[in-house]
Homo-oligomer: A and B are copies of this chain.
Amino acid sequence: MSDMRERVVVTEVGMRDGLQSIARTMPTEFKRRWIDAAYAAGVRHMEVASFVPAKLLPQMADADEVIAHALGYEDLIVTALVPNLKGAQRALEAGVHRIVAPISVSTAHSLANVRKTPAEMIDAFAAMREAIDSAASHASDRAARRVQLIAGLSTVFGCTLQGAVPYEDIAAIARAAVHAGADVIALGDTTGEATPRQVGEIIELVRGVAGEKLRSLHFHDTRGLGLANTLIALQHGIREFDASLAGLGGCPHAPGATGNVNTEDLVFMLDSMGYETGIDLTHLIASRDVLADALPGEPLYGYLARAGVPKQFERSPAIEPSSPSCSQVLQ
């Protein structure tokens, strides 16, 4: 049966984006438990750390240990976020499979975030590409596995500093990232301002310059449109999405610091539409216990964990449209 389903990759980014967005630091032991629990639920793509100075982000000081633990699972694809060449070198040494470099399409945001213009970040990105290729050419067994370099275009759907980012700028930076050696282009709604029609437009815009390299979307759920935006992205052919368990990072008291799309709610929607994620909802919901243990008092978000999987819910057998019949009732 599962052969008939179209696969959608859900990357758990809570260990990186979620934890980075809250003030507290999760002890390493709990990060290991979280990875174990996510793996047990069927998650096979995780962004587990970022390589940034520990004094800026103490939450990520244990990146090497966390990555080493994740790499203990042979079929787990392990991603790290890096803002610069030094971070990329550390990520390569740690042995990750994927490196995401954030490249803001907003000059104001880019300067505030990494003190580089977007063009300067593209130069840094090209240097990362060289470092990766050089590591591959001097390869031991593990390093020989070609590491994927992902251009994580940020503030694509709006910037709280600059406001609207002109479509020309988005297209120009996506094109530059491809030329600088991106294996994958990912689009990030950093500030939670994406809206459905705009999502479709920008996907087509970027696809026009990046083609099949445009693969992944990263939504925050700041205005409740995370799943609606995901739906439009699915309709436009996107099959990879980032999400955070329990929407970690959301904070009702700090506007602007809201979490990613909730992993459980996303998987439920994908299941209901007949996509195969490989993730078991019941185990996924149970894995929230790790967060409750590790971060007592931290708000855990999510509709599905509260309401439960509908009694009669069965995943639909395939995503191909078909004429409705009794046996295809989905809920």
Q: CB within 8 Å of B: which residues of A?
A: 157-158, 160, 163-168, 191-198, 201-202, 204-205, 221-225, 227-228, 230-232, 252, 255-256, 258, 262, 265, 268-269, 272-274, 302-304, 306-308, 310-313, 316, 319, 324-326, 328-331
Contact = CB atoms under 8 A, between A and B. Distances in A.
A223 to B, nearest CB: 5
B265 A196 contact: no
A102 to B, nearest CB: 19
Nearest to A303: B224
Contact of A272 (B197, B205, B272, B316): B197
A329 B222 contact: no
Nearest to A256: B307
B269 A303 contact: no
Contacts of A306: 252, 255
A157 B303 contact: no
Contacts of A304: 223-224
A164 B311 CA distance: 9
Contacts of A331: 157-158, 164, 193-195, 198
B272 A198 contact: yes
The majority secondary structure among interface residues of chain A is loop
A306 to B, nearest CB: 6
Given A255-B306, A324-B204, A329 B232 contact: no
B255 A197 contact: no
A198 B313 CA distance: 12
A269 to B, nearest CB: 6
Contacts of A196: 231, 269, 272-273
A10 B37 CA distance: 42
A230 B52 CA distance: 41
16 contacts: A160-B310, A163-B312, A167-B324, A191-B310, A192-B307, A194-B331, A195-B269, A195-B272, A196-B273, A197-B272, A201-B324, A201-B328, A205-B324, A224-B262, A228-B231, A255-B308
Contact of A231 (B166, B231, B255): B231
A316 B307 CA distance: 35
A192 B306 CA distance: 12
Contacts of A330: 164, 195, 197-198, 201
A138 B278 CA distance: 64
Contacts of A328: 167, 201
Given A222-B303, A304-B224, A326 B166 contact: yes
Q: When A and B form their complex, which 7 residue pairs have the shortest distance between CB atoms, in order from nearest?
A: A224-B303, A195-B272, A158-B331, A163-B312, A164-B329, A198-B330, A166-B326
A280 to B, nearest CB: 17
Contacts of A194: 331
